[in-house]
A = this chain, B = another copy of it.
Amino acid sequence: MPEQNKSTKNVYFFGAGSAEGKAEMKELLGGKGANLAEMTNLGIPVPPGFTLSTEVCAAFYENERNYPASLREEVAEHLQRLETMMGKKLGDAGDPLLVSVRSGAAQSMPGMMDTVLNLGLNDAAVEGLAEQSGNARFAKDAYRRFIQMYGDVVMGVEHEHFEHALEAAKKSKGVTEDTDLDADDLDGVIAAYKEIYASHTGSPFPQAPLDQLWGAIDAVFGSWNSTRAIRYRQIEGIKGLLGTAVNVQSMVFGNFGDDSGTGVCFTRDPSTGENTFYGEYLINAQGEDVVAGIRTPLPLSQLRDTAPEMMTQLEGVRERLEKHYRDMQDMEFTIQQGRLFLLQTRNGKRTGPAAVKLAIDMVNEGLISQQEAIGRVSADLLDQCLHPMIRAEARPKATLLATGLNASPGAATGQVVFTAEDAEAWVEQGKRVLLVRRETSPEDIGGMHAAQGILTATGGMTSHAAVVARGMGTPCVAGCKEVVISGAGASIDGFPVAEGQWLTIDGGTGEVFDGELPLITPKVTGDLATFLQWTDGIRDGASREGLEGFGIRTNADLPRDARVAREFGAEGIGLCRTEHMFFEEGKLEIFQEMIVAEDVDTRRAVLDRLLPLQREDFAGIFKAMDGFPVTVRLLDPPLHEFVPKTEADAEALAEASGVPLDRLKAKIESLHEMNPMLGHRGCRLGITYPEIYDMQVRAIMEAACAVAAGGAGVLPEIMIPLVGTLEELSRLRERAEKVAADVLASADAKVEYQIGTMIEIPRAAVTADRVAEAADFFSFGTNDLTQMMFGYSRDDAGVFLPEYVEQGILEEDPFQVLDREGVGTVVEMGVQRGRATKPDLKVGICGEHGGDPSSIEFCYQAGMNYVSCSPYRVPIARLAAAHAVLGISP
C-alpha cells in the first residue's frame, strides 16, 4: 500500500494538445486516463478534462472514505482551468459546460464501475444548452437522462421508476418511441423525474453543479468496492491495483443531429487479425445507444460513403495510434457536428488466431520485434488455435443441454455410447462416438482412446476422466451433474439421451449440446508454426547460471502419443508411465497372474511372459522419439488397482493362474488399503517385489539395444517413483545397474542410460542432497507432491476444494497451478540441495503442472532443465516457456 499522499499531486489535466499524464502512467491514472493523456499529447482530438488518480482511491479507502485534504481545492483549480479552456462554466445558465464522470482502473473491468454523463445540467443550464445548441429537445433529453443516471448511479434510485414515468408519458401521448416526445413532453418527464428523485432520496435533485460533481466522484470511487466489482476482480484474478481513477471530461455529443455520431473501431480485424479497418458506428446517437443494442450499428466501411471526410480523419487517427502504440487498437469515437473526437483507445482484445496473425504481421511490418510478438500471445489465446472448435455460426442455433466442468479443451461430436467396450466396437465399425459415463476408471482406457470425446456425470478437474483425457488430447466435459445414467439410457437435465444419439461437447467451456454440430480443426502450420519456432529460439537462447536452454518434453505412454507430441514439438519424453501398458487387454490378465503368484519362482515365470510385451512397447516409443531422451517410470500404482473387480473375472483368473479361488480372493482382499495414496506402491513395490522392476529394466534395456542396433538414437532414462529416502533409490539403482549391465553384455551393445527418481514425496525434496547421491536426474512429480504437502487427496478434495477457491482461502486450485508458497518452497529446496550434491543434476517436472503457464514460469525460475506435459499442451508449454525466459508473467 502506498503511504497516504505519497504523491502530493492528485489531479492530472489533459486538453488542447498537452497533458500532464502519459500512457506509461496507467497504474496512477488508470488505462482510460493514461491513454486520454497520451492521445492529447499526440495532438489527437480529445475532449479536454482531468483525471483524479488511483492514489486518491487508495487513500479514500485507507481513511474511512475521506479524501486527501487538498483534493477539493485541486479539483476546483482543474475545473476552472477546464472552464477557461472550454469558454464555458459548469451550470452556467448561458452556455453551460457539461462533463462526463467515468471510472478507469489500470486493468479493464468493463461495466463493473459507475459512469455519469451530462453532468452540470440543472434547471437553468438546460435552458442555456437549448439556446446554445439551438435544439431544445436535445437539451431536455440530456437533462432527463442526467437526472435518471444520477438518481440511479449516485443515489441508488431503481431505474425502473424513471422508466415507468417515461412509459407513462409516451402512453399518455399515444406514442411508442422516445424520439416521439418533443421538448414540451420532456419538460413533463423532467418534472416527474425530479419528483421520483425527491421521494426516493428525501431531498430535491441537486441544482448546484459542484454538488453534482462530488456526488458523481463519490459514486465512482465507491463503485470500486461494490460487491460486483470485488467479485469480478476475484474471478478475473485482478490483484495489486490501487483502485480506480476518475476521469472528468467535457462532454461531446454524437446525438446532436445527422452530422453527429458515435462508434467503436479496431485498427485491425480482432477476429482474424486481417489488416483491415474494422468497426461500427451510429449516426445521431450516444455511445450508450450502441452498447444498449437498441439500434443496429452500421459497418465502418459505410462511413467512407456517407462521410468520406470523417473517414479520412479516422483513418489518420488509426494509423497514428497503431504506429504509436505498436499494437492493434480498440477506439471509441464521437463526431459532433462534423468534428471527430476520440474518447478512448486501448489495445484491442483478439481471438487466438488473430493474436498469432497480428504478432507475425507486425514483426514482418517492422512494427515490433519477435520478442515483443511472443509477448503479445498469451497461452490462453494460443490454446484457442490448437483445439477443434464448434463453428461460430452454428452456436446460436444449437440446443445447450447442460454445462459441466471444462475438463479437457476442444469440441467433439459423436454418437453416444455408455461403455468403453461399445466405444471400441462402434469405432471399429467406422463410427464416431462420444463416451458417456458416470465416471471412468483405468479399464476404460481403450474406449476413452477410441472416443471423440468424453462426458462424465461426476468427478472434478482432476478426476480420472479429466486427467486421462487431457493426456490424450481428447475433449472432455466432466462432473456434469445433469447427466443421469440409468440402465441402457440416460438423460441430461431431463432431456432423454439414447445410445447412438448424436451429442456435441465443448471441453473448453464445459457445454453439452444436442445433435452433431459442425467443427473446425486447426493445424500447427503456417503462421502458427512460424510463431512457435520463434518461441523455440527464445528458449534455446536462455541462459541461467550455467544452465543453457530450457526444454519441453511430453508425458506419453504409447508410441502413438509420442509421435503426436513430436509433431507438436516435444524434445523428449519426461514421463512414460509403464502401468498404463498393463491395462491393455492381453497384458492385464498376465499382470494379474503375477500379482496372485504364490511364490517368487511363479512370479518370475509370469514376468517372463510380460517381458517381450513391455519390450515391444518401449521399442515403439524409443523409435518414435528418435534419439530424444525418454524417461520411463517403473511401476507405480498399488497392486490392488489391477486385480479383478468382478466374481467372473476372479474365477477366470483362478482358472488361468491355478490359484484356488478362495486363496485368490484372500490375496485380493489383503491388498485392500485404507489410504492407497499413502500405501504400498511406487518403489515400495520395487523393494518388496524386486523381480517386477528387474523385468521392467530388462525390457527397457533390451528395447534400447534393439533400436540402437537398428541405427536409431536411444536415450533411456530409468525413473524410480515414490522415493522418500536415499536408501530406497540406491538399492534399486544398484539392482537396475546389474540388470542393465547384464543386458548390455549379452547384446554386446553400448547404450548410454541414466537412472533417476521422481521427487514427489516431501521427504525426498527436503533430503534431496542425500537422494541426489544415487540419482542422475530428478523429475518433480508435483501431483503427488501437492497431495502430500497439502494433505489433500485428489480423489476426495472435491468436497471442499472448490469451496476453498470460491471463498478465497486458496487463490487457485493447487492441482492446476503450482502453489509457489508451499509446494514451491520444497521444490526449490529439492533443486538447490540436489545440485549442491551434483551440480550437473538434470531436473525437470512431469506433474500436470508441466502444462500450466504460471507453473512453467516457476519451473524456469527454480532452475529446472525442462518441463514435461501432455502432448496436446506442448505448444502451450513452448510459448509459456519462452514467456518465462523473457520474464513475461502469465
Task: Say yes or no for A166: interface residue by CB 8 A criterion.
Answer: no
Task: Say yes or no for A809: interface residue by CB 8 A criterion.
Answer: yes
Q: How far is the CB of A283 from chain B (nearest CB, A)?
A: 54
Interface residues of A in 605-651 (CB under 8 A from B): none
* B-chain residues with CB within 8 Å of residue A137 when the two chains form the complex: none
Q: Would you call A809 and B725 a contact (CB within 8 A)?
A: yes
Q: How far is the CB of A806 from chain B (nearest CB, A)?
A: 11
Known: A688-B800, A810-B727, A822-B724. Is A676-B674 also a contact (CB below 8 A)?
yes
Cα separation A766 to B800 with both chains bound (whole Å): 22
Residue interface mask A673-701, B partner, CB < 8 A = 1: 11111111000100110000000000000
Task: Say yes or no for A788: interface residue by CB 8 A criterion.
Answer: yes
Per a CB cutoff under 8 Å, which of B675, B725, B787 touches A796? B675
Known: A763-B789, A791-B678, A825-B766. Is A687-B807 also a contact (CB below 8 A)?
yes
Task: Say yes or no for A78: interface residue by CB 8 A criterion.
Answer: no
Cα separation A724 to B822 with both chains bound (whole Å): 9
Q: Would you call A679 and B796 a contact (CB within 8 A)?
A: yes
Residue interface mask A712-725, B partner, CB < 8 A = 1: 00000000001011
* B-chain residues with CB within 8 Å of residue A760 when the two chains form the complex: 791
Q: Would you call A796 and B674 a contact (CB within 8 A)?
A: yes
* B-chain residues with CB within 8 Å of residue A687 when the two chains form the complex: 800, 803-804, 807, 809
Known: A677-B675, A678-B793, A789-B788. Is A725-B825 also a contact (CB below 8 A)?
no
Q: Would you call A787 and B727 a contact (CB within 8 A)?
A: no
Q: Would you call B673 and A793 a contact (CB within 8 A)?
A: yes
Known: A675-B795, A770-B821, A791-B724. Is A688-B763 also a contact (CB below 8 A)?
no
Task: Say yes or no for A235: interface residue by CB 8 A criterion.
Answer: no
Task: Say yes or no for A92: interface residue by CB 8 A criterion.
Answer: no
Per a CB cutoff under 8 Å, which of B684, B761, B784, B791 touches A800? B684
Cα separation A804 to B810 with both chains bound (whole Å): 37
| Chain B, Cβ-Cβ closest to A807 | B687
Cα separation A800 to B728 with both chains bound (whole Å): 12
Task: Say yes or no for A826: interface residue by CB 8 A criterion.
Answer: yes
Task: Say yes or no for A233: interface residue by CB 8 A criterion.
Answer: no
The tally of residues in A whose CB lies under 8 Å from a CB in B reads 49
Known: A679-B796, A809-B727. Is A763-B784 also a contact (CB below 8 A)?
no
Residue interface mask A790-806, B partner, CB < 8 A = 1: 11110111011001100
Task: Say yes or no for A819: interface residue by CB 8 A criterion.
Answer: yes
Q: How far is the CB of A177 from chain B (nearest CB, A)?
A: 51
Residue interface mask A284-321, B partner, CB < 8 A = 1: 00000000000000000000000000000000000000
Cα separation A762 to B827 with both chains bound (whole Å): 13
Q: Would you call B678 and A787 a contact (CB within 8 A)?
A: yes
Q: How far is the CB of A765 from chain B (nearest CB, A)?
A: 9
Q: Would you call B678 and A823 a contact (CB within 8 A)?
A: no
Task: Say yes or no for A228: interface residue by CB 8 A criterion.
Answer: no
Known: A678-B677, A727-B810, A800-B680. Is A722-B767 also a contact (CB below 8 A)?
no
Q: Would you call A826 and B766 a contact (CB within 8 A)?
A: yes
Cα separation A788 to B675 with both chains bound (whole Å): 12
* B-chain residues with CB within 8 Å of residue A763 when the two chains form the complex: 789-791, 819, 822-823
Q: Would you call A674 and B793 a contact (CB within 8 A)?
A: yes
Q: How far is the CB of A621 from chain B (nearest CB, A)?
A: 28
Task: Say yes or no for A526: interface residue by CB 8 A criterion.
Answer: no
| Chain B, Cβ-Cβ closest to A792 | B678
Task: Say yes or no for A324: interface residue by CB 8 A criterion.
Answer: no
Cα separation A180 to B675 with both chains bound (whole Å): 70
Q: How far is the CB of A234 from chain B (nearest CB, A)?
A: 13
Known: A674-B795, A761-B791. Is A767-B821 also a contact (CB below 8 A)?
yes
* B-chain residues with CB within 8 Å of residue A784 when the two chains form the complex: 791
Interface residues of A in 49-105 (CB under 8 A from B): none
Task: Say yes or no for A731: interface residue by CB 8 A criterion.
Answer: yes
Cα separation A808 to B787 with both chains bound (whole Å): 27
* B-chain residues with CB within 8 Å of residue A673 when the two chains form the complex: 793, 795-796
* B-chain residues with CB within 8 Å of residue A766 when the two chains form the complex: 789, 822, 825-826
Cα separation A822 to B676 with both chains bound (whole Å): 22
Q: Would you call A675 and B793 a contact (CB within 8 A)?
A: yes
Cα separation A810 to B684 with both chains bound (whole Å): 12
Cα separation A142 to B400 with both chains bound (whole Å): 103
| Chain B, Cβ-Cβ closest to A804 | B687
Per a CB cutoff under 8 Å, which of B678, B725, B731, B825 touches A678? B678
Interface residues of A in 745-796 (CB under 8 A from B): 760-763, 766-767, 770, 784, 787-793, 795-796
Q: Which of A677, A727, A766, A799 has the most CB of B within 10 A?
A: A766
Interface residues of A in 704-745 (CB under 8 A from B): 722, 724-725, 727-728, 731
Q: How far is the CB of A861 from chain B (nearest CB, A)?
A: 18
Cα separation A795 to B762 with both chains bound (whole Å): 19
Q: Would you call A803 and B680 a contact (CB within 8 A)?
A: no
Q: How far is the CB of A437 from chain B (nearest CB, A)?
A: 18
* B-chain residues with CB within 8 Å of residue A678 when the two chains form the complex: 675, 677-678, 787-788, 791-793, 796-797
* B-chain residues with CB within 8 Å of residue A800 when the two chains form the complex: 680, 684, 687-688
Cα separation A676 to B795 with both chains bound (whole Å): 10
Cα separation A684 to B799 with both chains bound (whole Å): 10
Interface residues of A in 808-844 (CB under 8 A from B): 808-810, 819, 821-823, 825-826
Q: Would you call A680 and B796 a contact (CB within 8 A)?
A: yes
Q: How far is the CB of A862 from chain B (nearest CB, A)?
A: 15
Per a CB cutoff under 8 Å, which of B762, B790, B803, B819 touches A789? B762
| Chain B, Cβ-Cβ closest to A784 | B791
Cα separation A823 to B724 with both chains bound (whole Å): 11
Cα separation A565 to B493 with both chains bound (whole Å): 60
Q: How far is the CB of A724 from chain B (nearest CB, A)?
A: 5
Per a CB cutoff under 8 Å, which of B675, B803, B823, B825 touches A688? B803
Q: How far is the CB of A266 from chain B (nearest CB, A)?
A: 41
* B-chain residues with CB within 8 Å of residue A821 when the two chains form the complex: 767, 770
Q: How far is the CB of A634 from chain B (nearest CB, A)?
A: 16
* B-chain residues with CB within 8 Å of residue A679 when the two chains form the complex: 793, 796-797, 799
* B-chain residues with CB within 8 Å of residue A762 when the two chains form the complex: 762, 788-789, 791, 822, 826
Cα separation A565 to B821 with both chains bound (whole Å): 40
Cα separation A675 to B684 with both chains bound (whole Å): 18
Q: Would you call A767 and B825 a contact (CB within 8 A)?
A: yes
| Chain B, Cβ-Cβ closest to A678 | B793
Cα separation A784 to B674 with both chains bound (whole Å): 15
The contact sample of 24 A-B pairs, CB cut-off 8 A, is: A674-B676, A674-B795, A674-B796, A675-B675, A675-B677, A675-B678, A678-B788, A679-B799, A680-B796, A687-B803, A687-B807, A687-B809, A724-B822, A725-B809, A727-B808, A731-B807, A760-B791, A762-B762, A762-B826, A766-B789, A766-B825, A767-B825, A784-B791, A788-B789
Chain A residues close to B by CB (< 8 Å): 673-680, 684, 687-688, 722, 724-725, 727-728, 731, 760-763, 766-767, 770, 784, 787-793, 795-797, 799-800, 803-804, 807-810, 819, 821-823, 825-826
Instruction: Other than A674-B796, A763-B791, give 19 A-B pairs with Cβ distance below 8 A.
Output: A675-B675, A675-B676, A676-B796, A678-B787, A678-B791, A678-B796, A680-B796, A680-B797, A687-B807, A688-B800, A724-B822, A728-B809, A731-B807, A761-B791, A762-B762, A762-B788, A763-B789, A763-B819, A770-B821
In the A-B complex, the 3 residue pairs with the closest CB atoms:
A678-B793, A763-B822, A675-B793
